[in-house]
Amino acid sequence: MFLVLVIWLHGAARRLSDLGRRVRLATSGPVIARGDRRRAGNILASGLLGAARCPLARDHELGRPTVVSQASRLADVRYDIRGPVLRRARELEAQGHEIIKLNIGNPAPFGLFTPDAVLSHVTASIADSQGYSDARGIAPAREAVARYFGRLGVAGVTPDDVYLGNGVSELIVMALQALLNPGDEVLVPSPDYPLWTGAVNLGGGRAVHYRCAEDLDWNPDVEHVASLVTPKTRALVIINPNNPTGAVYSRATLLALLEVARRHNLLVLADEIYDQILFDGAIHHSAAALAPDLPVLTMGGMSKTYRLAGFRSGWLVVSGPREPIAEYREGLELLANMRMCPNVPAQHAIPAALDGGIDITPLLLPGGRLRDQRDLAWSALTEIPGVDCYKPAGALYLFPRLDPEVHKIVDDQRMCIDLLEQQHLLLTHGTGFNLPSTDHIRVVFLAPVEVLSEAIGRLGEFLSSYRQ
């Protein structure tokens, strides 16, 4: 046995020596021409100790690139809320800088927590959450969502019409993947929550942006919407209350939008995650309640009203006539089955929140924390020379405009990076929300008033001298 081991080691040493000689030949001397480099690559990849040639060597022989690149369908997929500006913020934090982050609607880090009763219910359900659930979600949660939609005035919703997901984001992607063929078009608001545009493009479709008019309190320009419909148009996206503008659409605007969908047989995709976050007496009208004769997919979840963004727990509700979308629903079922099920423990938060009398209204009335923060941020922003801003009626964001006559911004992403580096303040640029102009930024007003005051003071100081 010892003799066999010695012989094997001797042979291995010879092969290692031979490989080393080949490496020296391949990497020394004059520059290797293209064909010679390929041969050198084959030598290098010939295998340690006589092993089989590695796959990269075969790629060299066939002239294929050996670098793994991303899929071409991602070329038009963007999500700038967590893009280059945020990456730069992380670099600055790693260097020891403290950053004021007003870039994302994440309530808990600002001390806005869900009520203890919701967490207690989830904790008590952990032992029963160790297995898969139904692909659409646990029955108690789907039943709670169906009851909630009944209270909103949406008739006929049953638990079978409810699909739970790992946040609304997953459900948006799933809804569009089930719908789109290559080249199909979806009407999406501009500005929008950028996941919508990204998910349309990822699904092989084309996002066609309709204008939301700032002089109409950011309500959609319905005539513009109608003018964009083509034979390839499959769906109409409505984000109400709107992210990033904070607009709450009027009933008349919604009825006009739904009439466009009715006239052209479009599927309505209603993003209503902020439906309970309303200020100054604003009223939210559910698209599904206004159009019981239309197929409507409504998205909502636990992240905003119930301050459980980290739980990633949302719902998609299918309403309206069933027969016209029966085949489409088979696609939804398929995709729901492929992901097995949503996170089971997080699903238990849904009935606790929707049936537990959880009410965000005290935070929204005069003297409530969110109301005070919105008012302070809006007042401070509009005091900056050359800045004006619609006062949001809903959601958690302000979308101020920087007057191009005063602040000549050519590259708004560059401006946000410069602001970050100079003032350690993290905001999101307007073009990141698929707005064509470079004269807006989004400000999240979740931080306490003293933090917002400091942050907007820094913004004003920055803008007073910033030039591009």
> Both 137 and 11 in a single domain?
no
The predicted-structure confidence for 268-293, as pLDDT tens digits, reads as follows 999 999 999 999 999 999 999 999 99
The predicted-structure confidence for 405-440, as pLDDT tens digits, reads as follows 999 999 999 999 999 999 999 999 999 999 999 999
Q: What is the pLDDT of residue 46?
A: 43
> Both 457 and 384 in a single domain?
yes
> Both 318 and 337 in a single domain?
yes
Q: Judge whether 259 lies within some domain.
A: yes
- Domain extent for 187: 115-354
> Both 101 and 145 in a single domain?
no
Q: Judge whether 73 lies within some domain.
A: no
> Both 127 and 42 in a single domain?
no
Q: Does 79 score more than 60 pLDDT?
A: yes
Last residue of a domain, one of 317, 333, 354: 354
* pTM recorded for the entire structure: 0.85
Q: What is the pLDDT of residue 65?
A: 66
Give percent of the chain above pLDDT 70: 86
Q: Judge whether 421 lies within some domain.
A: yes
Q: Judge whether 277 lies within some domain.
A: yes
> Both 254 and 382 in a single domain?
no
Q: What is the pLDDT of residue 39?
A: 40
> Both 187 and 228 in a single domain?
yes
Q: What is the pLDDT of residue 30?
A: 39
> Both 215 and 285 in a single domain?
yes
For residues 74 and 254, the model is more confident at 254
Q: What is the pLDDT of residue 50?
A: 45
Q: Judge whether 72 lies within some domain.
A: no
> Both 216 and 349 in a single domain?
yes
The CATH number given to whatever domain includes residue 394 is: 3.90.1150.10
Number of domains making up the chain: 3
> Both 186 and 149 in a single domain?
yes
> Both 316 and 194 in a single domain?
yes
Three-state SS for the chain is: CHHHHHHHHHHHHHHHHHHHHHHHHHHCCCCCCHHHHHHHHHHHCCCHHHCCCCHHHHHHHHCCCCCCCCCHHHCCCCCHHHCHHHHHHHHHHHCCCCCEECCCCCCHHHCCCCCHHHHHHHHHCHHHCCCCCCCCCCHHHHHHHHHHHHHCCCCCCCHHHEEEECHHHHHHHHHHHHHCCCCCEEEEEECCCHHHHHHHHHCCCEEEEEEEEHHHCCEECHHHHHHCCCCCEEEEEEECCCCCCCCCCCHHHHHHHHHHHHHHCCEEEEECCCCCCECCCCCCCCHHHHCCCCCEEEEEECCCCCCCHHHCCEEEEEECCCHHHHHHHHHHHHHHHHCCCCCHHHHCHHHHHHCCCCCCHHHHCCCCHHHHHHHHHHHHHHCCCCEECCCCCECCEECCEECCCCCCCCCHHHHHHHHHHHHCEECEEHHHHCCCCCCEEEEECCCCHHHHHHHHHHHHHHHHHCCC
Q: Judge whether 230 lies within some domain.
A: yes
The CATH number given to whatever domain includes residue 306 is: 3.40.640.10
Last residue of a domain, one of 338, 354, 370: 354
What's the whole-number average pLDDT of the chain?
Answer: 90
Q: Judge whether 69 lies within some domain.
A: no
Last residue of a domain, one of 354, 374, 404: 354
The predicted-structure confidence for 217-236, as pLDDT tens digits, reads as follows 999 999 999 999 999 999 99
Average pLDDT score over residue span 256-260: 99
Q: Does 7 score more than 80 pLDDT?
A: no
Q: Does 1 score more than 70 pLDDT?
A: no
> Both 99 and 213 in a single domain?
no
